[in-house]
Structure 1
Amino acid sequence: MARFPGRPAGRPFADDYDARLVGGRPRAASAPAAMVGLRGPGSGYLRGLGRSLSPDDDADEAVQRRREAVIERLRTGWTRREAPELEVVQNDYGSDVFPVAGEILAATATWDDIQTEEGGAGLEVVPLGHPELEGRVVRLRQAVPGTNEDVRELVRSLQGRGHAVSMSYVTPLGGRPIMKPNSGEFAPQVADFPAYQAAGPRYGEGVVVAVIDTGVTQDPRSDGWLADVPRVAHDDASTAHDDSNIDPLDAEPRDGWLDVYAGHGTFVAGVVARVAPGAEIRVYKAVGPGGAGCELDVASALIRAVRDGAHVVNLSLGTQTLFGEASVPLGVALDVVREIEDERGSVSVIVASAGNYGDAVPTYPAAFGRVVAVGGLTAELRPTTWSSRGPWVDISTVGEDVVSTYVEGRQNPAFGSGAEFGENPFARWVGTSFAAPQVAGAIARTMTELGVSGPEAVNALLAAGKPVAGFGKALQILPGA
């Protein structure tokens, strides 16, 4: 197997992304970035650099207001033209999950079994609305309307009898709403970040990396960063979906502020570009700037990305489920991906953030065995309190104070300082959302540096990693702080 000869454990790229440098130039010392946080059951949140707060601090009224505001934007900041009713329910592990009210999803073969063994269980088929999954996933509702609790209990009952069914979930960015950058505190610290063209060797050249996220900002930056990322304008179709990959930043209902997750896709794409500046980055929109995207949208985008030729796919999103069950549509999408790979004779690598739940409960899609699950560490490659962890996490890297490309606009005071981002901004952000694209970029770089396939690059990085209990193999890629 290809290796990184002469490199210390956990540092496959040695000092190429040294903490003393920003994009290849020295950075002046500055105060740490401040961050505001959102906390739900089961994890800490950060306020200030690297300080974990105890559960008692969750009573803070300002934090609770922020959490409620984020949930409201999850309800309204949807990728579909007509948003369904969204529930907020605690699962069996005490964490918030976001099922679409009244919907049940099943693979087609599972539905055939339910019809045969359970007489349909009082369910009826409703339109799926996702051509990539037609004939493979069935969307169901109760024929005689009941309460949302009735639907959830029906799912639990069907699962107890061995049927692979689930609710239809929203997949929050990074696994759950947790941390938002505070622009007024840190934007000046990275004001002299260099132009993209001057960022050094073109690591990852010839590798296609797909980013499935909120989309990308419509107006290209004037400093060269992300200049080659294709922008697809909105169409005028009246259907539920269009092919646009543009992040609206302030989605309906517009309020004049950046939405809580506005710029997430632009930031993630910039992380990939920092690690693998030669890679071809393609951005697919499956999540709105409020942080809401249903599993069906994400699954469909995954299929499209692989069919379009992506060598590496990054998913900085995910969710726990009500009963610990695997995601039905994402599992089906992985089956479709395997079929595409068999036809073309090569295998794509799928990378996903492990989530920000602060526990060991599996988050999907990261917890699928086929997916490279990425956790978040401190700048010293030590465990964080907020990252999901467990034996299903493959690789971890720095997830605190990651620097990347951001978007113009003014931050909503409900989520931060209310400060304004100017032209060509760079920001710092915290979460497994920003650990995952480092690994995606590292895979792209390794493919070209060692001349190997995507899966072989993953194996080489795993072999180069340093074990950290609960976090798989730790890699130092980009610095934190």
Structure 2
Amino acid sequence: MDIQAVGAALIRPGQLLTDRGALSAAARWTQAVSEADGVFRIRLTPGVDPCEIAMRLREEGHRAGPNHVLTGQPLWFGGPASRPFPAAPLAAPSGRDGPQVRVAVVDTGIAAHPWWAKSDWYGRLGPEAADRPDGDGDGALEAQAGHGTFIAGLIQRRAPSAAFQVARVLGADGVGDEAGLLRALHRLRADPPQVLNLSLGCHTFDDQPSRLVADAVGSLESTVTVACAGNTASDRPFWPAALPSVVGVGALDAAQEHRAPFSAHGPWVDAWARGEWLTSTFLEFGEFEGFASWSGTSFAAALVSGAFAASPAVRDVADLPDSRQIPGLGVVVHST
């Protein structure tokens, strides 16, 4: 799909996302409308600016916005360790017979792996949830293939009995959009997880949150939602991590004492965890034999999701076991 840069944000050109109530107000600019899982995507008539129309509809009290492009976050252009590296195998975590905590991983999908090959939750997944190594069929590993699989391993190392609900909203290139995220969040309402990991996000064209995403996350009232702060090295709000209802997670260096240089930061970041040179489950493809080392706020977020999954009664990040404070940053969730 096409991508258009608007200021320092990325959108799908000619697309507007709304709820049902805004359809009639947007009719004069509408060429076509599609609906899936409660999300209305308007194809605007040629030449119409979706950001301008979104602002006009908001002034009339409607929920509307352009279809922002989302990216997984080790995707930091020119950043360190922006690709995975093969790693030695890790022993599967013990203690998987404990009470199951359901964790939703909304990402690139999850691939088959010996750690969970015989688990009930993996047996229930369909092909639409698979993490695909070669999305374009050129024989090369895609830039963010294995991203969701890596995240699942990090969570399971901290919470061995975690059972995953999986939604693939990012391609193997690490790119998706707000419409896909909204559809996935809508489907989760039927069976809400205890923890939701969103290692993805975007800047918005006006630096304001999407009301559609905020309301979709808010509808999962019993779920702790964790999102990565982004690998932007700036304090510009990154969504959905900057939402008040979401635990936004920045990345620390390998020593867990300082902010990783690539990590976003600012008062909207709620927690910090190691984001440099983590090792976890990965694909079996080419030089990779099921494990990799990788860096990014994506993986710091997964560590915090794992901590919540290991302590399902906790809802405030400051109450997690082994959490501490780093002056000038905030709450740190220790990596075990």
**Is the shorter-chain TM-score for this pair beyond 0.5, marking a shared fold?**
yes
Change (3 A) 1:440 1:161: same
Q: What does residue 57 of structure 1 align with?
A: none
Between the two proteins, the alignment pairs up a number of residues equal to: 330
Counterpart-to-counterpart distance in 1, 2:157 and 2:117: 10
Q: Deviations over 1:197-244 (max 9, x none)?
A: xx3445973211111111111x443xx35642415333xxxxxxxxx2
Change (3 A) 1:462 1:374: farther
Q: Deviations over 1:11-59 (max 9, x none)?
A: xxxxxxxxxxxxxxxxxxxxxxxxxxxxxxxxxxxxxxxxxxxxxxxxx
Q: Which amino acid aligns with 2:332?
A: A
Offset, 1:310? 1.1
Offset, 1:128? 3.0
Structure 2 residue 65 is matched with structure 1 residue 166 = yes
Counterpart-to-counterpart distance in 1, 2:44 and 2:179: 19
The answer as to whether partners of 2:143 and 2:172 remain within 8 angstroms in 1 is yes
Q: Which amino acid aligns with 2:12?
A: V
Give matches, 1:329-340, under 5 Å: 329-338=212-221
Structure 2 segments unaligned to the other structure (5+ residues): none
SS of the aligned residue for 1:368 comes to: coil
Say which of 166, 180, 189 aligns to 2:82.
Answer: 180
Offset, 1:164? 4.7
SS of the aligned residue for 1:181 comes to: coil
Q: Which amino acid aligns with 1:461?
A: L
Say which of 360, 372, 381 aligns to 2:247.
Answer: 372
Give matches, 1:63-74, under 5 Å: none
Structure 1 segments unaligned to the other structure (5+ residues): 1-83, 92-96, 235-243, 339-346, 411-419, 448-452
SS of the aligned residue for 1:146 comes to: coil
The TM-score normalised by the length of structure 2 is: 0.87
Offset, 1:292? 1.6
Structure 2 residue 109 is matched with structure 1 residue 215 = yes
Compare the two structures and name the one with the higher helix fraction.
1
Q: What does residue 437 of structure 1 align with?
A: 302
Counterpart-to-counterpart distance in 1, 2:145 and 2:172: 5
Q: Which amino acid aligns with 1:209?
A: V
Q: Which amino acid aligns with 1:250?
A: D
Q: Deviations over 1:155-200 (max 9, x none)?
A: 45656777653210121002844543353xx52xx24x22x1xx34
Structure 2 residue 13 is matched with structure 1 residue 98 = no
The answer as to whether partners of 2:113 and 2:281 remain within 8 angstroms in 1 is no
Give matches, 1:267-286, under 5 Å: 267-286=150-169
Larger radius of gyration: 1
Say which of 260, 265, 271 aligns to 1:395.
Answer: 271
Counterpart-to-counterpart distance in 1, 2:56 and 2:74: 26
The answer as to whether partners of 2:322 and 2:333 remain within 8 angstroms in 1 is no
Q: What does residue 129 of structure 1 align with?
A: 35
The answer as to whether partners of 2:74 and 2:295 remain within 8 angstroms in 1 is no
Change (3 A) 1:357 1:267: same
Structure 2 residue 323 is matched with structure 1 residue 476 = no
Counterpart-to-counterpart distance in 2, 1:401 and 1:122: 51
Q: Deviations over 1:345-400 (max 9, x none)?
A: xx111111111111111111111111111111112321122111111111110000
Give matches, 1:52-67, under 5 Å: none
Percent of residue pairs identical: 32
Q: What does residue 465 of structure 1 align with?
A: 324
The answer as to whether partners of 2:64 and 2:212 remain within 8 angstroms in 1 is no
The answer as to whether partners of 2:3 and 2:10 remain within 8 angstroms in 1 is yes
The answer as to whether partners of 2:197 and 2:225 remain within 8 angstroms in 1 is yes
Counterpart-to-counterpart distance in 1, 2:330 and 2:321: 9
The answer as to whether partners of 1:250 and 1:289 remain within 8 angstroms in 2 is yes
Q: Following superposition, which runs of at least 4 residues in structure 1 exceed 6 angstroms of deviation?
A: none
Counterpart-to-counterpart distance in 1, 2:50 and 2:107: 29
Q: Which amino acid aligns with 1:288?
A: G
Change (3 A) 1:139 1:277: same
Change (3 A) 1:99 1:274: same
Offset, 1:432? 0.6
SS of the aligned residue for 1:301 comes to: helix
The answer as to whether partners of 1:203 and 1:445 remain within 8 angstroms in 2 is no
Compare the two structures and name the one with the higher strand fraction.
2
Change (3 A) 1:391 1:161: farther
Give matches, 1:198-347, under 5 Å: 199-202=93-96, 205-217=99-111, 219-221=112-114, 224-225=115-116, 227-228=118-119, 229-231=121-123, 232-234=125-127, 244-251=128-135, 253-338=136-221, 347=222
Counterpart-to-counterpart distance in 2, 1:245 and 1:165: 29
Structure 2 residue 85 is matched with structure 1 residue 85 = no
Change (3 A) 1:293 1:395: same
The TM-score normalised by the length of structure 1 is: 0.63
Q: Which amino acid aligns with 2:311?
A: T
SS of the aligned residue for 2:249 comes to: strand
Counterpart-to-counterpart distance in 1, 2:144 and 2:74: 13
The answer as to whether partners of 1:173 and 1:316 remain within 8 angstroms in 2 is yes
Counterpart-to-counterpart distance in 1, 2:174 and 2:268: 24
Change (3 A) 1:331 1:272: same
Offset, 1:130? 1.6
Change (3 A) 1:248 1:373: same
The answer as to whether partners of 2:63 and 2:212 remain within 8 angstroms in 1 is no
Q: Which amino acid aligns with 2:126?
A: A
Q: Which amino acid aligns with 1:476?
A: H
The answer as to whether partners of 1:226 and 1:269 remain within 8 angstroms in 2 is no
Say which of 322, 337, 351 aligns to 2:226.
Answer: 351
Q: Which amino acid aligns with 2:261?
A: T
